[in-house]
Every structure is written in C-alpha cells, then in structure tokens.
Structure 1
Amino acid sequence: MGLIESLRGGAQPLRLDALSEADVPFRTGHFLAYAPKDFHRIAFVDWGDKDARRVVVCVHGLSRQGRDFDPLAYALARMGYRVVCPDLPGRGLSGWLRDPELYALPQYASDMAALIAHLGISEPIDWIGTSLGGLTGMVLASAQDAPIRRMVINDIGPFLPWAPVRHIGDRLRDAPRLHHNLASGESRLRIVLGAFGALTDEHWRHLARHSFFPEPTGGWRPHYDPAIGQAFRPGRVYSVSMWRDWDAITCPVLLLRGAQSDLLLPETADEMMRRGPRTYRVEIPGCGHAPALLDPDQIRVITDWMGPAS
C-alpha cells in the first residue's frame, strides 16, 4: 500500500506530486516580516479549512523548507486542522536576509511570531518543529503567555554537542551551488540526508522537487541562501545549551528521537523527560537526525498523539 493510500485508509492512491489536488483545501501565501533595516518575504503553504478552530504550524530544519511536511499536513488537515507550513527566511520561497548574521534563532522566532499574528487566529496553536524548527518552537513556547497549546519536537533538544553541529555546518558550506539537472540534486540529497531513514523513490523525488530551483542560465540551485551557513564558520561552532528555555515551557510535548541520532543524544532526551514540560517520548527506528516524517508510521505517531481537531 502506498503512502497516501495508507493515510486515506485504503482509498485510491494519491501521488505526492498531486497533493495540491487532494480532498482538502490547499493554498499558498506570504507576508512581509521585519529584520533590522530590512523587510523580507515569509512564504507559507496553508492546508485545510481556513476557519478551522485548531491551527498547527509546522517548521522545518536548517536547510529544508515547508513542503517537507506535505504528507503530514495533508493527514492533519483531513482530521480537521488548519496546517500552516512556512519557509524560514533564506529558504524555499521566502526572501533572503541582507545581513547573514541575522540567520539565527532570534530572527526565526520573531518571524514565526509574525506569522502567528498574520494568521489572525484567536486560539492557541499547536507546533510541530523538526530540528531548527523545534528550537524555534522552544524559544517561543518558553516565553510568557506563549500562544502554543502543545508541541511536537522532532529530534532536537536543549543541548547540542558541538561535533555534530560542526558536521552539519561543514556539509552545508561544502554543498554544490549548482547541479546540472534535478537528478543530480536528488542524488546529493540521498547522500546528505541519508539519516532521514529508508525513504521511497517517491519521497526522494518529492524532496528534490522542492529543494532545487531552475536557473535561467541552466542548472538547478539549492533552494536556500548559501549565507545560512556562515554561522557555522570555523571558530564559531560550539556546544549549545538551552535548558533555561526548556525548563520554562509549560505546554505538553511529544518528543521524537531518531534511534541513531547524534544530535539529540539519549542522555539529553532522558534529561528532557526528567525536567521541564510534561513530555511523551517516542524513538523512531532506522533514523538518525532527523526522521523525515514522510512515512505513514511516523505520521501516525503524531496524529495519534494529537487526535482529531476539536
């Protein structure tokens, strides 16, 4: 049974490249957000009933973009949620920042707070964040009067050891700036994102389709601003501790951990269970950093924990 067939309970299979034609509303949108001396575009995909009471915001990892969440967003929208999947600045269809030093958590949190305000919703939201998206959610959820009802954090925690952070930065800075064709870009993704788990060819095609943009002069470039890697220059990478943010969070959390993850260490996950918010933990087999959330079983972990929109 294919991915979308499984999500629909055995109905006629629906291709990932046809999700926008699915039986739930699908929209794209954008707004202007502010950085010092700069307004920039924040783009997003918006699934489900625009007037739904329950809204989920899904935020991607460092070098990814919002279309990674298409199958999960589709499943949640069919459960009655409105699901908004933004591209962080410098990624996807969002604008690039003029000052690359601003590619950091304070700006991401500010932009996502602006997104919540732009949506014009009165009820607290649910948050699903992979890696950097999880850290951004932690920053927002730790603030006083945070409008976050509950969170899913995918393979990230309040302590990041420097070695895997350095590896991520090296991989990002060393990435080719141009591929001759989309197939070459997909081959690169299969190597650098191998820790995502055992994805199908359809999954890889879907990721590649939204990870590279055609250049007018030929070739395909990665969707992100290469300057997002400047924060990982030699001498600027160190272990990160955000325990103060974690301890300030009061909403319930579903913590997903790739069983082979080197970024969310087992001892960090253990400590997250002992302190901070009430947390339910699930280990995802066959994955490192980070589970792709494309597989039906991974999606089901989230949908079962969240339940139907009410």
Structure 2
Amino acid sequence: MSHATSLAPRLHEVQCLGSRGLHRMAYAEWGDPQNPKVLVCVHGLSRQGRDFDVLAQAMAADYRVVCPDVVGRGRSDWLADPMGYVIPAYVADMVTLLARLDAQTVHWVGTSMGGLIGMGLAALPGSPIDRLVLNDVGPTIEWASLQRIGQYLGQPAHWATLDEAADALWAISSSFGPHSRAQWLALSAAQLKADGAGFKPHYDPAIAQAFRAVTPEVAAAGEAMLWASYDQIRCPTLLLRGAESDLLSAQTAAAMGQRGPRARLFSFEGVGHAPTLVQADQVAAVRAFLLEP
C-alpha cells in the first residue's frame, strides 16, 4: 500500500436496524481493504469518526482501519426517536458494521462513549474483539463530569467561520490537553456542518435528550451493569487515562487493573477527559499495545 493511499480515507455507509426502521451509519476506511487485520476506532459522545485521522494514518500500513460516525453524528442519519441514542443500540449497529466488513476478529479503540460501546461488545459471548483500548472511560463515570457535559450538549450554536467555531469548541474542550492551532483546527473542521453562511455542530441536538434522562439512580444501576460487563471481558485491554480526567477517576482506573481483563493502565500528564490520540506519545502508546506479539 502506498503512503498516499493511507492519507485518503474511503467513505462508506451501512444500513442498520433501529426501533423505527433503518438508518444509515457512515464510516471512513483507511488502509488496504483486503487486509484481514481490522482496527475499529469509535469516538466520544458528541464527536465523529474523523477524530481518528491521525491515529488511522499511523496504523493504516498495518490494519484496515474503520472509523464510524455513530448514528446521530457526522455523516450518519439522525434518529426519529431520540431515546434510541443509547449504548445497547450502538452495540447492535456495530455488529451490523462488522458483518459488512466480514471481520472475524477486530482490534478496538474506543474514546469515552466509544469505549463503552467496545466494552458492551467485548463482553458478549463469542465477541470478535480480541484486543481492546479504552480511552478515558470505565464502568464508573463520575456524576460531576456528566453534569459538566450536560451544560453544553445539544445547545444551539452557530459560528460564522471555522476559527470562531474552533475557539468555541476549545472553550468546552480544553481538558483534551495542549494542541497546536493546526491540530485543533483539524479536529474542529469535521465537527462542523454547513448552516447558511456559517457552521453549526455536526450532530443531532436530540442526543442530549437520552443523556439528560439519566438520573443519579439510573446512573448507579447502569454502573452495576457496566461492571458486570467489564468482568466478562477476556481479551487483552489497555486503559488510557488523562491524569486530570474528571470522568474516569484514579480509583476506578485502579479497580479496572484488578478485575475483569485486568487492564494495563497508561496515563498522560497534563490531559483531562479525554486524550485525542493526536499527540505522538498517545499514538505511540496505542500502537505499541495493538502491535505487540
């Protein structure tokens, strides 16, 4: 495969079944489409698959890299029923995607929500995931972090220029850690959808409805189920953590190293929730784990 090929993803779609019919899930694919080694990278709550462009380019010589836009985000359809924006439904969509890819086994990198989807899939009997990277997420999610995210998720926004949008996105994303202006503009561009003479966020604002329906009691019940799922995972697992994360506590990370797959922990100083996997040390940590014998 040529280096030039690795720099340009192929854009595809797959039809998935939801509670009110079919919806399209878009995905970007990098590397040799015939490569039996498949790496699936899944983004966070309000993000989209092009967040992984840097990591995908770094891995495309070794993998067929697939980066979906979870339904309601990026180029994927929006759901008629906002209460369909839940993890079990996303897991079902990913099963459909893996069938389309004809992938018998996969490696998985999941940031935040993408990690929860990966946990759900990896815990299933006969799961195709045989190496798992969880990026700043675990079964226990700190309530204060959920409240912080709820302050901006789904709020109406319009920006006149890419630079204005990038500044606004940085104001709610500075916990991602230091980025150059070029890095942040690249991460911001795919987050935007044309809106008249300017831009708006490239996700369905209605994803906030299911998110805001979570109460402390619902969160506690969900935590118990997530720990039960985590304890069922048997594949080698790497846990990445921003050392200043307000979503994944140091205590939860430590517990994840002691039970279930006994995740190996790698922490990044000066970063909160969540590492973007753009910086060289972050890419190197993922690459070393995925490619080790």
What does the per-residue CA deviation read over 1:121-158, in whole Å, with 9 as the maximum and x for residues that have no partner? Answer: 2x310000000000000000001111111100000001
The aligned counterpart of 1:224 is 203
Identify the residue that residue 77 of structure 1 maps to in structure 2: 60
Deviation string 1:207-230 (CA, Å, 9 cap, x unpaired) is 121011112x32201100000011
RMSD: 1.7
Q: d(CA) in 2 for partners of 1:41 and 1:156?
A: 27
Paired residue type of 1:74:
Q
Equivalent in the alignment of 2:130:
149
* Structure 1: runs of 5+ lacking an equivalent: 1-19
Matched residue, 2:271: 287
Does 2:117 align with 1:133?
Answer: no
Judge conservation of contact 2:177–2:271 (CA < 8 Å) in 1. yes
Question: What aligned pairs does 1:192-271 form with structure 2 within 5 A after superposition?
Answer: 192-215=172-195, 217-233=196-212, 236=215, 238-239=219-220, 240-241=222-223, 242-271=226-255
Post-superposition Cα deviations, 1:16-67, rounded to whole Å, max 9, x if no partner, equal: xxxx955566311001111012211100000001111210000000000000
C-alpha displacement at 1:166, in angstroms?
A: 1.7
Residue identity (%): 43
What residue is the counterpart of 1:306 in the other structure? 290
Could you tell me the TM-score, scaled by structure 1's length?
0.88
Q: What is the deviation of 1:176? A: 3.5
Task: Quote the Cα distance in structure 2 between the aligned partners of 1:106 and 1:26.
Answer: 28
> Does structure 1 residue 46 correspond to structure 2 residue 29?
yes
Alpha-carbon distance in 1 for matches of 2:262, 2:5: 35
Match of 1:99 among 69, 81, 86: 81
What number of residue pairs does the alignment pair up? 286
| Structure 2: runs of 5 or more not aligned | none
Aligned residue runs from structure 1 range 168-187, under 5 A: 168-173=149-154, 175-187=155-167
Q: Partners in 2 of 1:141 and 1:208 — Cα distance?
A: 30
Q: CA deviation at 1:182?
A: 1.8
Q: Which residue of 2 aligns with 1:87?
A: 69
Structure 1 position 272 matched with structure 2 position 253: no
Please list every run of at least 4 consecutive aligned residues from structure 1 whose deviation after the TM superposition is greater than 4 angstroms. Answer: 20-25
TM-score by length of 2: 0.93
